[in-house]
Amino acid sequence: MQLRNQKNSSGLTLVEIIVVVFIIGILALISTPNFITAIRNYRLRAAAINLLTALRETRSEAIGKGRMFKFTVNTTNFTYTRERLPFSQIDVLKLPCDRQDCWLFEEKADDLATINNDPANKNVFFNYQRGILSMETTPTTIELTFNPAGTITVPGTGLASFKMYGPMFGYEIKVYKGGQITFHKISLP
């Protein structure tokens, strides 16, 4: 009787390893564009929510402090500015009077925040690196005034619109003069 020499085949062959690496490479090539698009869409949403939050914070601060605030968005250089407007109180019982004689209180304007497109600034809320491919506003440079009563002074028609577009869709923020600020997803133009 002949005895056969039996080998234990508990390892993987070189061909099997190459096939597995090849399959993993193909899956990575297929999923990478989807992953990059997902990151851009996430960044677009984050940028839109940051702007929305800044607008709502400014409105809440105007109501809470009983002061007027100016919020300016300029899309040509991708900046927004929040500013507390000057405030003074006059003793109406002393009217008519010289300006200094009637003043009870005076406060100067205060520049609260300027967020710009500086790469070192971690609070940048919109730029091309953040996933926004284009942005439209109506009107082009928007200057909103938030009043202590909760209303918003919007130039023109009483409606300000911010549209931010990414690779697949966009977001729109609408600011109404009555104080409402809405946010929703929109399709590409």
Q: Which residue has the tokens 């971690």?
A: 122
| Tokens at 98, concatenated | 């010289």
pLDDT of residue 105: 58
Q: Of 64, 60, 189, 57, nearest to 135 (Cα)?
A: 189
pLDDT digits over 113-164, tens only?
555 444 444 444 555 455 666 777 776 778 899 998 999 998 888 888 888 8
For the chain, give the mean pLDDT. 78
Task: Give mean pLDDT, residues 86-103.
Answer: 65
| Section 82-99 average pLDDT | 70
Q: Return the HEC string of 124-163.
A: CCCCHHHCCCEEEEECCEEEEEECCCCCEECCCCCEEEEE
Strand-pair partners of 11: none
Would the pTM of this model clear 0.75, i.e. be above it? no
- Highest average pLDDT, of 85-94, 133-142, 179-188, comes from 179-188
- How many whole angstroms separate alpha carbon 39 and alpha carbon 96? 62
**CA Rg, the chain, in Å?**
29
Contacts of 68 (CB under 8 A, 6+ apart): 62, 84, 85, 87, 145, 146, 147, 148
Give residue limits of the domains in the chain. 14-187
pLDDT tens readout for residues 71-89? 988 776 667 888 888 876 6
pLDDT, residue 45, reads: 87
The whole-number pLDDT of residue 124 equals 45
Query: What pLDDT shows up at residue 123?
Result: 42
* DSSP one-letter string for 39-59: HHHHHHHHHHHHHHHHHHHHH
Mean pLDDT, residues 167-177:
90
Residues 6+ apart with CB under 8 A from 138: 159, 160, 161
Q: Is the dihedral of CA 34, 136, 130, 174 positive or negative?
A: negative
Q: What is the pLDDT of residue 44?
A: 84
Give the helix, strand, coil percentages of the chain, each rounded to 5.
35, 35, 35
CATH number among 3.55.40.10, 2.60.40.1250, 3.30.1490.20, 3.40.640.10, domain 14-187: 3.55.40.10
